[in-house]
Chains A and B, each alone.
Chain A
């Protein structure tokens, strides 16, 4: 099992979490995820996930002009995004603790 497979299931949650601390544009969010330790995450995954979350109504977006270089498209959590982050976060924590328990039982058994 490699992290890439695991990441697929939680990428939405990871991106939502990365946006909790503030709006960001695609490359910015990728940097935040990598800084948090998710080294395997690729740019296409972040971009695709942002598009999908936006299409799902969890994000708002706006364009910020940039002096040097192209305009940047910023994404931020809206109310639905915050709610989804809460809900998915709980699901993940429940799942993670179940997995933890399972692994611990196997180790002690």
Chain B
């Protein structure tokens, strides 16, 4: 048979299948099981197309449907199942997964994606052992507030390593013997796996957020928790009392400190526009202390501009990052 006829048959069967979409899966499968072979027989009888000989696939499906109705010796009723909708949904999901399995496989160089996943089984056994050890340590070691990456009990790394090794060994041994389990133990293992997955996902995101926000303090949450909340701009003065333009602030890790708000309001018009300055201050014209020109640096060690703020004698030199809070809201 040539491939055109084969395509024609496949196409015909698919359209019949689509027209029978509302039948229970078991009945439909039963009806369609032999249809390709049967149509191939018919196609071989004659040179006319299937549609010419048999009518449209939809009409064929309609006729086929009547034979599925119950009459003498009808299809044995499929045994009643209690969770019919769930089972149907499961069948749908499995079908989609099966299709994805075949589609994805060649992309990663395997006939099926599941072939690759099977290779990963021992890796899963190790991971499962680790997760189980973590879960056990977590529940046994309730008083420890912070969970690390090892299954510590009483903050003992040694115990953690022993526990970890033991669980991984058991998990591997278990994985290799899995097939000999009977039904209930197998269900128990699967349920345990689901629980482990939940613990793993929860632990992963908890660890992720701890890494991203290591302080985990209430900075910024309570109204007066962060003493730098009010800062809109930063003015850096050198020890001559001169305003340093384009200053950049870094913490001990070399991470840039971003604070303030890079918008300036024009004192005359009140118009607000984005600062054109890279670094601090964003709005030099709003400096709280008049800065002496860099060219005419005064010789005094104490900047003369400080006269304006007698309440904070050492402010600019000692804490250059924080202009004294007493001169609050510098840019306003």
Contact = CB atoms under 8 A, between A and B. Distances in A.
Contacts of B76: 55-56
Interface in B53-77: 53-55, 60-61, 63-64, 66-69, 71-76
B66 A8 contact: yes
Interface residues of B, number: 31
Contacts of B73: 12, 52-53, 56, 58, 84, 88
Given A13-B72, A27-B41, A44 B33 contact: no
Dominant secondary structure at the A interface:
helix
B54 A43 contact: yes
B295 interface: no
Contact of B1 (A27, A47, A69, A88): A69
Contacts of A58: 73
A70 interface: yes
Contacts of A53: 73
Dominant secondary structure at the B interface:
helix
A44 B42 contact: no
Contacts of A42: 54-55, 60, 63
Contacts of A26: 38, 41-42
Contact of A55 (B30, B38, B71): B30
A44 B41 contact: no
B37 A45 contact: no
Nearest to A7: B66
A52 B67 contact: yes
B207 interface: no
- Band of interface residues on A: 20 to 34
Of A8, A26, A43, A53, most B-chain CB atoms within 10 Å: A43
B44 A70 contact: yes
B40 to A, nearest CB: 4
A52 B53 CA distance: 23
Contact of B37 (A10, A48, A49, A73): A73
Contacts of A10: 72
A51 B64 CA distance: 10
B75 A71 contact: no
14 contacts: A26-B41, A27-B38, A27-B41, A42-B60, A43-B42, A47-B35, A56-B76, A69-B41, A70-B40, A70-B41, A70-B43, A71-B37, A73-B38, A84-B72
Nearest 7 CB-CB pairings of A with B: A48-B67, A69-B44, A44-B63, A70-B40, A44-B64, A12-B72, A48-B64
Given A42-B55, A55-B75, 12 more contacts: A25-B41, A43-B54, A44-B61, A44-B64, A48-B63, A48-B67, A51-B33, A51-B34, A51-B67, A69-B41, A73-B37, A73-B41
